Structure 1
């Protein structure tokens, strides 16, 4: 029954996530719409490449152009250009080597046995990057495509180049991806999740609901928070890259690229994630051991719950201050300073109350001492920032 209950809760949580994602995609621009747009652009690039190379020009190897075009519509314009050049170079290397060997040896099986290891090694060349594998693809197109001629091989290279040009042009000229919105959203999501976790733990401690399953759910959410922060870090990198050679990046409505402010915020949220996981781990381990003496008495649980609520509020205000879409929010900044002051006062009150409350209880002292250490680190980072 317990396993069934956990499964039902997990399914409900995942279902709620799906519903929320669909609602966001329908209601406003975001990552979901960006993914749909990129998929449509890749299909359009392939269609244009085939329409020109296959239908209009009736090129002998017309399939190469749409195939290259569809994979060149990458997540950023810069990556499309860089990978397009690397891919065409890799295909050219594989095609030239396979053509020369096939014409010299006049035996497909022997040629394939000698050429494939060679082009796979050439594909490891650093300048080809992740596109080096296409050297082997280019060689296979030559060796499995019928009679080998210099003209046919040159046509393959030309069609690959044309497909790359189409892919880059479509990605750059039609709604080029800019991920600044995703960066802010990722940071905001991480801050919101941290706030909700701390509020949930505070409610549980204040109401005495500190069972192992509930504490385990808190800890699982805290671990997922760390992954959210990692995703926010990746989003910052994507944002910087998406601004390079992007014709929309210099438009008046384009946002400023992420700088030190986002990097500092990422460091703070990383710290919050680590110590939120520490708090939930301590609560979970104590509850899981079923040691009644080590569980928090109301005299200590209440002030610690108050501290967690103030911490959650400070994180919310921090998010509103740093990630406001309309710039710096002075009122939120003032509230943040006040919240941090209150956070310090509640922490001092908890610290003064702790020694007398657990003087004769070593197990409780270990639990509360660990929670207090996590509280100090969490509050210290917010105060420092």
Structure 2
């Protein structure tokens, strides 16, 4: 009964997520709409390839053209071109090897036993990348598609070339994908998560109640910030790749992610490292079996102030780097003032540390590490602000 109830809840969540995705695709630009557009483009590429190769030219192996076309409507134009060249090389390799061996042995069954291991090994050649498996596919088309002739094998390669051209052309000429919007959204999501956990951790540091459940939630949120930063880094790389060989790059409205994006990822990475260390200290201090000393108020108060100031600096930092008009003088001025406050708070923390930490080597090591991380984080914000 419990399993059935859990399954029903899972199905309901999936149906709700599907409805949300459909509504977003219909009402607003975003990842969901991009996926729908790419699906429609892939269908269009396959339809055009079949219309020409199958209906008009009536090619003997016309299905190869729409098959290749639909595969090459990739997530970026650059990837369509790169994978298209690799896929054609793999198909041609498998086709040539299978044709030569089958004609030499005059037996498709015997040729298959010899050819398939060979082309599978050839498919692992690094220059073919992820498309190497199509060497075996090309060989199978030859050996299972009836009598083997040079003419039929040439036709297969020609149809693959035509399908690749159609797929690449459709992806490049009809709303070529650009992922700069998702890149900025990923960075803003990570920055908002960082600001929230910095403020929550600061509030918890100065509270009287350090319960294990709350400390565990904070540490889990810090680990989740790691994943968001990783996704933001991947989104920056994805955004740059989406502009390579992309006709929309010529538009003045589209510019590649600059150094500001890389700087933001670096700062957020330092935040993730720092806040994970702080939340781990709180988590260990909440468990008696860990025997970690709880920091006293002389240390937690300035440390909490440091975290609150860092949260404010992160918020202002994203405003200065990703302002709608590209420049926000007020935010830049506030950021400089906040960074100065941050350095002052850090200096106060350093002054209080010797008298606030008990004469325990483990405590000194823990607090010294956190202070070092705090210094590095402050240095990152200062260097990115200057």
Deviation at 1:373?
3.1
Moved more, 352-361 or 370-379: 352-361
Deviation at 1:219?
1.9
| Residue matched to 2:282 | 283
Does the 8 Å contact 2:284/2:291 carry over to 1? no
Counterparts of 1:169-184 in structure 2, within 5 Å, are 169-184=169-184
| Residue matched to 2:75 | 75
Counterparts of 1:243-254 in structure 2, within 5 Å, are 243-254=243-254
C-alpha separation between the residues in 1 aligned to 2:127 and 2:365?
A: 55
Aligned-partner SS, 2:249: coil
Deviation at 1:59?
2.5
Moved more, 323-332 or 359-368: 359-368
Query: 2:185 matched to 1:185?
Result: yes
Moved more, 206-215 or 321-330: 206-215
C-alpha separation between the residues in 1 aligned to 2:159 and 2:96?
A: 14
Query: 2:110 matched to 1:110?
Result: yes
Does the 8 Å contact 2:285/2:292 carry over to 1? no
Moved more, 239-248 or 307-316: 239-248
Moved more, 151-160 or 168-177: 151-160
Deviation at 1:135?
0.9
Does the 8 Å contact 1:300/1:350 carry over to 2? yes
- Cα distance change on mapping 1:292 and 1:94 into 2, 3 Å: closer
Counterparts of 1:1-385 in structure 2, within 5 Å, are 22=21, 28-254=28-254, 256-289=255-288, 294-359=293-358, 365=364, 367-385=366-384
The alignment's TM-score, normalised by the length of structure 1, stands at 0.87
- Cα distance change on mapping 1:197 and 1:21 into 2, 3 Å: farther
C-alpha separation between the residues in 2 aligned to 1:285 and 1:18?
A: 37
- Cα distance change on mapping 1:263 and 1:27 into 2, 3 Å: same
Does the 8 Å contact 1:303/1:350 carry over to 2? yes
Moved more, 71-80 or 126-135: 126-135
Q: CA RMSD in A?
A: 2.8
The alignment's TM-score, normalised by the length of structure 2, stands at 0.87
Instruction: Tell me the number of residue pairs that the alignment of Structure 1 and Structure 2 aligns.
Output: 372
Unpaired runs of 5+ residues, structure 2, are: 1-5
Q: Deviations over 1:100-135 (max 9, x none)?
A: 211221222210111112222333344323222211
C-alpha separation between the residues in 2 aligned to 1:211 and 1:253?
A: 51
| Residue matched to 1:3 | none
Moved more, 62-71 or 31-40: 31-40
C-alpha separation between the residues in 2 aligned to 1:288 and 1:218?
A: 15
Moved more, 39-48 or 281-290: 281-290
Does the 8 Å contact 1:178/1:239 carry over to 2? yes
